[in-house]
Amino acid sequence: MTRSWWGWGNVEDAVTGAEADELVARIGALLPDHDFTPHEPPAVADLDLRAPRVAAPGALAALASDDPEDRAAHTHGKAYRDVVRNLSGDLPHPPDLVLRPRSEQDVVDVLDWAGTAGVAMVPFGGGTSVVGGVEARVDGPVVSLDLGALDKVLEIDRTSRAARVQAGILGPALEDQLRPHGLTLRHFPQSFEFSTLGGWLATRAGGHYATVLTHVDDLVESLRVVTPVGVSESRRLPGSGAGPSPDRMFLGSEGTLGVITESWVRLQDRPRWQSTCTVDFDFFDAAVAATRAVAQSGLHPSNCRLLDPMEAAVNAGSSTTGGLLVLAFESADHPVDAWLDRALELVRDHGGRPGAVRARSPDAGAGGPRGEAPEGADAWRSSFLRMPYQRDAVTRRSLIAETFETACTWDRFAELHAAITSAAYGVLEQLGAPGVVTCRFTHVYPDGPAPYYGVYASGRWGSLLPMWDEVKAGVSEAIAAHGGTITHHHAVGRDHAPWYDRQRPDPFAAALRGAKAALDPRGILNPGVLGL
């Protein structure tokens, strides 16, 4: 498999042929006047990348690459605006070098050199940032520090269900190394195949569980972090109240305070019982109320994903007037019937119509005794994994196709949701770009949902970047004004900095700058991210 330098994932998995035709036909029905002419990505040789301004000294030279495709692949993340810029050959800030440490000591050595030489370091895991988090948008020489060679599970504690894992490991390799022990991290972001544990930790990624363990933060026992002033290693603890949590300062620091090299992570036994059911609603307000009832029930479903009617139509191929709620429970220890049964009572109380239950158990195997697979849930899941590839295919055909997410308390959801969708549609209208805005809840809490939005609209080749940036600014203003967070699990990076700066309390910003000055006195670590 060949990793794409300009788009998502593997070149071999890109959308082509019948899938592309089907996609064009489906979107064409919605946007009949759109120009679907496909545009080819430029050849790397035509990118005319700025020549490297720095060379790795002595022993570090063996870790360095100045190969143009390597540098191009490390220039941007994988946001829509990254793909658009890559397709246009717009790469003004390539890293001067890509450095690939093979050990933690290499990381220490690289930071020592960088501090002395005044070279900025952009830590790079899988490079799937969608917020400009790995982009070398800095003056002066800059290196992309690719941690992909730190890819091992080093130790497993079966008793405590935990493992010591290197930060550069990709999702599939991590699960492959845990599977023989009957264990799993169960952290499955959409980027799972191409993102790393260290990236998840540095960005506070959201994962598999819709409730309780929503962020990777909760799966952390301890961290090892190389900072310019030394290695920080926290103690493996299941819980502690000794001062502010050291790990919580590095979680979400996005490479600005140090380079995460290892973590002890909390694992799960592989689930043996799973039950899934999709619930249809006539009215969206009722669907939201039902979802809130489940979120506040203490039942802790592993999945509790509400798709609004447009999301169901666009991304699951399902028709509904009020929304589809995908509910799932799973356990390695016990049947989950009592849990699902009660959740279905709750949704029925709000007018929900549950479909067939699909159950898996050690006795009955998959598709067990309680009925057939719900079509909506399966279709959505499969679509979920193809979405980034399809995003690339439609971007090449001049569509706007991007997502963003937030979270808010339940009392504010209706107002925030109206403000966001109205802002998005308003900007699309101003731009003369017909399209749709979709919404799903990816995670839910007792005190509020995390809504995730998609914007799919007819763009114009050559103007895609400013068009999207206007949509993004509009919806971000709505989020800032109506009590949401600028990001629930996509991180801040460089792109969210203006709104993050308004959301973050000023004294906390001052404290974070104080911490940054103490750990990274020369300011070499991911300058510009988090406004640091």
Report the site for a second copy in 291-330 (rule: CB under 8 A).
292, 296-300
* Only segment of 46-54, 164-172, 234-242, 459-467 that touches a second copy (CB under 8 A): 234-242
Query: Would you count residue 244 as binding a second copy (CB under 8 A)?
Result: yes
In the complex, what is the shortest distance from the CB of residue 88 to a second copy, in angstroms, rounded to a whole number? Answer: 29
Start-to-end CA distance of the chain, whole Å, equals 37
d(CA 227, CA 112): 10
**Least distance in angstroms from the C-beta of 224 to a second copy:** 9
| Cα–Cα distance measured from residue 445 to residue 308, given in angstroms and rounded to the nearest whole number | 18
CB of 110 to a second copy, least distance (A): 17
Q: Which of 116, 160, 319, 321 binds a second copy (CB under 8 A)?
A: 160
Window 327-346: residues binding a second copy (CB under 8 A) = 331-334, 338-339, 342, 346
46-54, 357-365, 392-400, 444-452 -> range binding a second copy (CB under 8 A): 444-452
Nearer to a second copy, 122 or 457 (CB): 122
SS in 3 state form for 40-87? CCCCHHHCCCCCCCCCCCHHHHHHEECCHHHHHHCCCCCCHHHHHHHH
**Smallest gap, in angstroms, from Cβ of residue 167 to a second copy?**
16
| Rounded Cα gap, residues 32 and 250, in angstroms | 48
Segment near a second copy (CB under 8 A); pick from 94-102, 118-126, 191-199, 251-259: 251-259
Chain positions 94 to 113 lying near a second copy, rule: CB under 8 A, are none
Candidates 492, 495, 524, 527; binder of a second copy (CB under 8 A) is 492
CB atoms within 10 A of CB 267: 23
The least distance separating a second copy from the CB of residue 10, rounded to whole angstroms, comes to 27
Interaction between residue 524 and a second copy (CB under 8 A)? no
Distance in angstroms (rounded) separating the CA atoms of residues 412 and 448: 9
Least distance from a second copy to the Cβ atom of residue 513, Å: 6
Asked if 275 contacts 357 with a C-beta cutoff of 8 angstroms, the reply is: yes
Give the integer Cα–Cα distance in Å for 248 and 251: 5
Contacts of 172 (CB under 8 A, 6+ apart): 192, 193
Residue count at the site for a second copy (CB under 8 A)? 99
Secondary structure class of 9 (helix, strand, coil): coil
Residue 522 binds to a second copy (criterion: CB under 8 A): no
Three-state secondary structure call for residue 206 = strand
245 is an interface residue for a second copy by CB under 8 A: yes
Helices 284-295/337-349 angle, 10° precision: 140
Among 22, 35, 112, 233, binds a second copy (CB under 8 A): 233
| Span 345-404, contacts to a second copy by CB under 8 A | 346
Q: Which is nearer to a second copy, 66 or 337 (CB)?
A: 337
Within positions 174 to 193, which residues make up the interface with a second copy, using CB under 8 A? none
Spatial distance between the Cα atoms of 361 and 367, rounded to a whole number of angstroms: 9
